[in-house]
């Protein structure tokens, strides 16, 4: 006896498709952006004051990767130069952390972090939530696949 093939239909009865489309098309709500900003600024502050560790480094690196992907998508491409410079500074900071156990930053690294966070904040305020989530998915896929750019490409 042959079984029926399983159908993969989306069930829209559980959600309102119009409301779902509107949420995807609208800009991310301010209170959600504030949560992201607070975490990023807390990480920046910890790194600047020498109290940062791997978690704070990863927060800044994640924001930098997302800013770079959004720039490559055409959303604020002027941020690409800053993100590439910050990538070099983050690599240097990670090496310093491995050698000394402390996350030390240079003045240009701190400036690059601040500039990147400013660019990224403007990027995510100017795109629909669906576009921002698409960029997040691209970054997550790159991380999962092990796709990383060579250091020589960053220089």
pLDDT at residue 104, as a whole number: 80
Compute the distance between CA of residue 62 and CA of residue 68 in angstroms, rounded to an integer.
10
| Average pLDDT value for residue range 44-67 | 92
Distance of CA 22 to the CA centre of its chain: 23
Are 127 and 74 in contact by the 8 Å Cβ rule? The answer is: no
Q: How confident is the model at residue 132 (pLDDT cuts 50, 70, 90)?
A: confident
**Dihedral sign for Cα atoms in the order 49, 55, 61, 63:** negative
Summarize the chain as % helix, strand, coil (round to 5): 75, 0, 25
Within 10 A of 89 (CB to CB), how many other CB atoms are there?
20
What are the tokens at 66?
């997302």
Q: pLDDT: is 25 or 48 the higher one?
A: 48
pLDDT at 153: 44
On the question of pLDDT at 155 being above 80, the answer is no
Q: What is the pTM of this model?
A: 0.75
* Domain boundaries defined on the chain: 29-154
């Amino acid at each position: 006896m042959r079984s029926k093939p399983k159908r993969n239909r989306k069930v829209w009865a559980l959600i309102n498709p119009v409301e779902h489309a509107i949420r995807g098309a609208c800009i991310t709500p301010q209170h959600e952006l504030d949560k992201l900003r607070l975490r990023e600024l807390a990480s920046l502050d910890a790194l600047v004051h020498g109290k940062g560790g791997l978690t704070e480094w990863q927060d800044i690196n994640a924001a930098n990767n997302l800013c770079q992907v959004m720039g490559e998508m055409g959303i604020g491409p002027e941020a690409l130069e800053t993100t590439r410079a910050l990538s070099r500074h983050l690599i240097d900071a990670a090496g310093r952390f491995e050698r000394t156990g402390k996350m030390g930053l240079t003045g240009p690294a701190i400036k690059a972090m601040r500039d990147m966070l400013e660019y990224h904040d403007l990027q995510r305020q100017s795109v629909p939530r669906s576009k921002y989530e698409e960029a997040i998915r691209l970054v997550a896929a790159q991380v999962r696949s092990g796709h990383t750019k060579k250091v020589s490409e960053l220089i």
